[in-house]
Amino acid sequence: MQDNSAIELRGITKRFGKVVANDSISLNIRKGEILSLLGENGSGKTTLMNMLSGIYQPDEGEIYAEGKRVTIRSPKDAYSFGIGMIHQHYHLVDVFTAAQNIILGLEDEKMDISKTNEEVKKICDKYGFDINPEMKVYDMSVSQKQTVEIVKVLYRGADILILDEPTAVLTPQETDKLFAVLRNMKADGKAIVIITHKLAEVMAISDNVAVLRKGKYIGTVKTCETNPQKLTDMMVGHAVTLNIDRPKYDNPQPRIEIKGLTCVDAEGITKLDDVSFTANGGEILGVAAIAGSGQKELLECMTGLYPIKSGSIEYIVPESGERKELVGLAPMKIRQLGVGMAFVPEDRLGMGLVGSMGMTNNMMLRSWKNGKSIFFNRKNPEELAKRIWNDLEVVTPSTEFPVRRMSGGNIQKVLVGREIASEPNVLLTAYAVRGLDINTSYAIYNLLTEQKMKGVAVIYVGEELDVLLELCDRILVLCGGKVSGIVDARTTTKEEVGLMMTSLGGKEEK
């Protein structure tokens, strides 16, 4: 074994009932290295790392810390071996400050808080974090909360940091900041494991990439000697083509017409300012914007979830061409008209899925809410659950298996699949592929295109410009709650869209 090994796993196996989540995995994590852990949804990444952080214990195999065999029974044990994990769901107390959260549960908790503030500041200065120790958690953005979680594990002396999909909830700018901090930590000799599905990030941040497939360890490659295509093939086990078909729909017709839409939040801040555009059936309209530019409010206005100050949202009924004003209608009514939303929230289980129920029951839940009765016999939801299971390759032992026990990405597949399967006329999606592996992301893109070719008006709020440019027909760019332009996705460039996202006065499509 090399002497710079921080942690070594040998023959680790973990089973949940009949599911073998990790099958005799051996892996070496080195000091001064950033290792990406890559694998499809449900391939066992989180489970493996949870055994290092003391959440689970292996059924078989051994763990070595600095060459010594160790047993990790609890997160506290993990800290004593210098291991700290930043989970996807944060465990912070809202009413406490950053510093209070950082020392929560420690023996020196009662210690002088000003001294803690100082020490927290020291850690922040050392690695380049930007956080005020006295800020209350409820005032923080997601990225600031994440920073608190990272500083918390550093404060506890972690030399091995494990981050489970830390960038899934960050904007590209916040991701860059996080990566700068990770590089500083690496230079300081820390060992870092990062789980991410975004291959561009894998290429940008890691020294090595370890790949898992269906619970098995496939191998580790040097990042500088690989590329996204090779990594995908390794993950999936056979060659895959990564391109998005963009067929044209004959004769797209207006389906939603928005005029002068303006809304303000509870504090009186204008979130959408005189927004006007048309979404056509048979078209994917992309929405590109920096986080917090009004994209969330736009979708919420369209589904009746956000109060509107002025303006109109007209829904044009397919075939009859009749116009219906959506402003003022209850969310349920809007849904019944055929406006569906596959909104993928930060908290997947909070949004319309019941964790203790299986896929089938969760399908029924959606259709009950919808007020439709066709699903009242169990056969249909079961068929639907099976279809989603097949089409999106959901990793679960059965359609009755509690959703809560599925891997993060697989929960997401259920959520998105269910929305698409409800056959809406307008399909609104926000961050539909967040947390999904690359193969499944492409499956989702294909499903959206399939919907478009059926004449559905698809609105796709996305984070990755490359995808927006490849998938959409037109792109609506928002900046500070205003429309800065609508461009043809087939002819525009990343630079043009990027510029419009940060400044108004972009070009308007005729």
Among Mg ion, ligand ATP, none, what binds residue 246 when CB lies within 5 to 8 Å by partner kind? none
Q: Total binding residues for Mg ion by CB under 5 A?
A: 2
Strand 339-343 relative to strand 426-430: parallel, antiparallel, unpaired? Answer: parallel
Contact between 483 and 288 (Cβ < 8 Å): no
Minimum CB separation from Mg ion for residue 339, in Å? 32
| Choice from 362, 410, 425, 484 touching ligand ATP (CB under 6 A) | 410
- Between 473 and 502, how does the x/- string for binding to Mg ion read (CB under 5 A)? ------------------------------
From residue 19 to residue 38, the character string flagging contacts with ligand ATP as x (rule: CB under 6 A) and all else as - is: x-x-----------------
The reply on whether position 405 binds ligand ATP by CB under 6 A is yes
Nearer to ligand ATP, 197 or 474 (CB): 197
Contact pattern from residue 357 through residue 396 relative to Mg ion, giving x for each residue in contact according to CB under 5 A and a dash for the rest: ----------------------------------------
Q: What is the dihedral of CA 455, 458, 464, 469, to 10 degrees?
A: 40
Residue 54 CA to residue 67 CA, distance in Å, equals: 18
Contact code string over 433-462 relative to ligand ATP, x by CB under 6 A = ------------------------------
Could you tell which of ligand ATP, Mg ion, none binds residue 385, using a CB distance below 5 to 8 A set by kind? none
User: Could you identify the residue written with the tokens 């904007």?
Assistant: 171
Give me the amino acid identity at 161.
L
435 lies in the site for Mg ion, by CB under 5 A: no
CA distance 60 to 81: 20
Among 409, 424, 455, 481, binds ligand ATP (CB under 6 A): 409
CA atoms of 423 and 420, how far apart (whole Å): 6
Which of 54, 286, 408, 485 touches ligand ATP by CB under 6 A? 408
Compare residues 286 and 408 and give the one whose CB is closer to Mg ion.
408
Measured between alpha carbons, how far is 12 from 60 in angstroms, rounded to an integer?
A: 5
Q: Phi/psi at 342 (nearest 5 deg)?
A: -100, 85
Rg (CA), the chain: 24
**Site mask, Mg ion, residues 29-48, x = CB under 5 A?**
-----------------x--
Supply the minimum distance, in Å, between the C-beta of residue 399 and ligand ATP: 13
Select the binding partner of residue 272 from ligand ATP, Mg ion, none (C-beta < 5 to 8 A, by kind). none
Binding mask 389-428 for Mg ion (x = CB under 5 A): -------------------x--------------------
Q: How many residues bind ligand ATP (CB under 6 A)?
A: 18
- What distance in Å separates the CA atoms of residue 41 and residue 92, rounded to the nearest whole number? 26
Instruction: Return the beta strands (E) in 17-133 as ranges.
Output: 19-30, 34-38, 60-65, 68-70, 83-86
* 395: contact with ligand ATP by CB under 6 A: yes
Quick one: tokens of 127? Answer: 């690695």
Are the C-beta atoms of 427 and 420 separated by less than 8 Å? Answer: yes
Ranges within 312-341 binding ligand ATP (CB under 6 A): none
Q: Report the sign of the C-alpha dihedral through residues 487, 282, 278, 330, in that order.
A: negative
Q: CB of 260: closest distance to Mg ion in angstroms?
A: 43
In single-letter form, the type of residue at position 167 comes to T
> Of 28, 36, 46, 278, which lies in the binding site for ligand ATP, with binding defined by CB under 6 A?
46
432-465: string of b/e by CB count within 10 Å (b at 16+)?
Answer: bbbbbbbbbbbbbbebbbebbeebbbbbbbbbeb
Smallest distance from ligand ATP to CB 445, Å: 18
Say whether residue 43 binds ligand ATP (CB under 6 A): yes
Q: What are phi and psi of 37, to 5 degrees?
A: -110, 115
User: Does the footprint of ligand ATP cover residue 365 (CB under 6 A)?
Assistant: no
| Nearer residue to ligand ATP within complex by CB, 264 or 357 | 357
CA angle 440, 341, 260 (to 5 degrees): 130
CB atoms within 10 A of CB 2: 9
Which positions from 2 through 21 interact with ligand ATP, judged by CB under 6 A? 16, 19, 21
Residues that bind Mg ion (CB under 5 A): 46, 408
Q: Which residues form the interface with ligand ATP (CB under 6 A)?
A: 16, 19, 21, 39, 41-47, 395, 405-410
